[in-house]
């Protein structure tokens, strides 16, 4: 489904990604971990084409998406949905409109600006909000929601695109443990039920171990670990995180800490 080959990204003299390569041929949950500045966000933003790669390839079904332009690039960004740490909702708009805006690049600009959405779009948005426990907020302004609620709305917006890949950039970094668990469970459920590849930047090891099938560890722009989450030892984690290792070992989003068994054990 996805092959990243020798990806390099420079910001001036700063080498943010240094010959990054990995691939997957199935829909799995991949956690990308590493200390601040390791290149995690740059990796996702480059795959999605929000950043322009310096060199390398990102192959999806054999096609290098880094070469796409115009409408083809927009179609790729529809197929490869992004979820951000800061939610990126339009605060003054109601929740259902924020969700429908996920299909913005398939809507005529004037139609989208005037919110002239079809009954089918509204029905699909409501279905998504219901699925992720947010139906009661459909007519509320986004700014009235808690952080965890806003992130679940952002997930609904991403699903509105009907993507084949979801890239989540630190989606739980600013959330309390309960809301972080709800968001991670939502992403895990999307992967299992919709057969969608999820690549998620994470901060704590417990979260990666509990919710990811595979972990990619990055340090100074390079991949230094790539394997099943069960193979991520504490020793390897300390090598990945270096001076920030103690922070990474702080309790993350574990279902057991909230009185539940881990999601992967349930699957």
* 57/2 Cα distance (integer angstroms): 10
- Tell me, rounded to whole angstroms, the distance of Cα 250 from its chain centroid: 22
Kindly tell me if the per-residue pLDDT of 33 is higher than 50.
yes
* 198/187 Cα distance (integer angstroms): 7
The DSSP secondary-structure symbol of 131 reads H
Considering only residues 110 and 231, tell me which one the structure prediction assigns the higher pLDDT: 231
The pTM is what? 0.88
Residue 207 pLDDT class (50, 70, 90 cuts): very high
- Distance of CA 32 to CAs 22, 118, 148, 205, 226, Å? 11, 37, 21, 10, 9
* 19/39 Cα distance (integer angstroms): 12
pLDDT digits (tens, 9 = 90+) for 60-69: 999 999 999 9
Kindly tell me if the per-residue pLDDT of 35 is higher than 60.
yes
Average model confidence (pLDDT) across the chain: 88
Mean pLDDT of 16-22: 97
Given this model, what pLDDT does residue 133 score? 93
* 204/253 Cα distance (integer angstroms): 8
Kindly tell me if the per-residue pLDDT of 261 is higher than 60.
no
Residue 257 pLDDT class (50, 70, 90 cuts): very low
Residue 234 pLDDT class (50, 70, 90 cuts): confident
Given this model, what pLDDT does residue 267 score? 31
Kindly tell me if the per-residue pLDDT of 250 is higher than 60.
yes
Kindly tell me if the per-residue pLDDT of 157 is higher than 90.
yes
Question: Which two three-digit tokens encode residue 157?
Answer: 């917006």
Considering only residues 44 and 115, tell me which one the structure prediction assigns the higher pLDDT: 44
Given this model, what pLDDT does residue 117 score? 84
Residue 253 pLDDT class (50, 70, 90 cuts): low
Q: Radius of gyration over alpha carbons of the chain, in Å?
A: 18
List the single range of 29-43, 89-103, 107-121, 140-154 with lowest mean pLDDT: 107-121
Considering only residues 85 and 126, tell me which one the structure prediction assigns the higher pLDDT: 126
Residue 238 pLDDT class (50, 70, 90 cuts): confident
Given this model, what pLDDT does residue 68 score? 97
Kindly tell me if the per-residue pLDDT of 201 is higher than 80.
yes
Kindly tell me if the per-residue pLDDT of 251 is higher than 90.
no
Ordered by where they begin, the domains of the chain are: 2-86+163-266 (3.40.50.300)
Kindly tell me if the per-residue pLDDT of 13 is higher than 80.
yes
Residue 260 pLDDT class (50, 70, 90 cuts): very low
List the single range of 10-14, 111-115, 174-178, 195-199 with lowest mean pLDDT: 111-115
Angle between helix axes 147-160 and 177-194 (nearest 10 degrees) is: 20
């Amino acid at each position: 489904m996805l092959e990243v080959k020798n990806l390099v990204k420079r910001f001036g003299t700063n080498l943010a990604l240094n010959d990054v390569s990995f691939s997957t041929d199935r829909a799995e949950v991949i956690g990308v971990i590493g200390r601040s500045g390791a290149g995690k966000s740059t990796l996702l933003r480059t795959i999605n084409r929000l950043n322009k790669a310096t060199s390398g390839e990102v192959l999806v079904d054999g096609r290098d998406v880094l070469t796409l332009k115009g409408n083809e690039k927009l179609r790729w960004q529809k197929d490869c949905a992004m979820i951000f740490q800061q939610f990126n909702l339009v605060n003054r708009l109601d929740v259902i409109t924020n969700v429908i805006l996920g299909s913005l690049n398939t809507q005529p600009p004037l139609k989208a600006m005037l919110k002239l959405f079809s009954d089918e779009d509204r029905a699909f948005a409501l279905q998504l909000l219901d699925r992720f426990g947010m139906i009661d907020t459909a007519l509320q302004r986004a700014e009235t929601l808690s952080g965890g609620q806003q992130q679940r709305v952002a997930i609904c917006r991403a699903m509105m695109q009907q993507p084949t890949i979801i890239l989540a950039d630190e989606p739980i970094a600013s959330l309390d443990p309960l809301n972080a668990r709800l968001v991670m469970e939502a992403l895990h459920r999307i992967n299992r039920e919709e057969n969608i590849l999820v690549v998620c930047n994470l901060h704590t090891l417990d979260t990666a171990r509990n919710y990811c099938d595979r972990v990619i560890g990055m340090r100074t722009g390079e991949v230094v670990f790539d394997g099943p989450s069960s193979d991520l030892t504490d020793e390897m984690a300390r090598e990945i995180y270096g001076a920030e290792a103690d922070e990474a070992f702080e309790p993350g989003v574990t279902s057991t800490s909230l009185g539940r068994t881990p999601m992967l054990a349930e699957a």
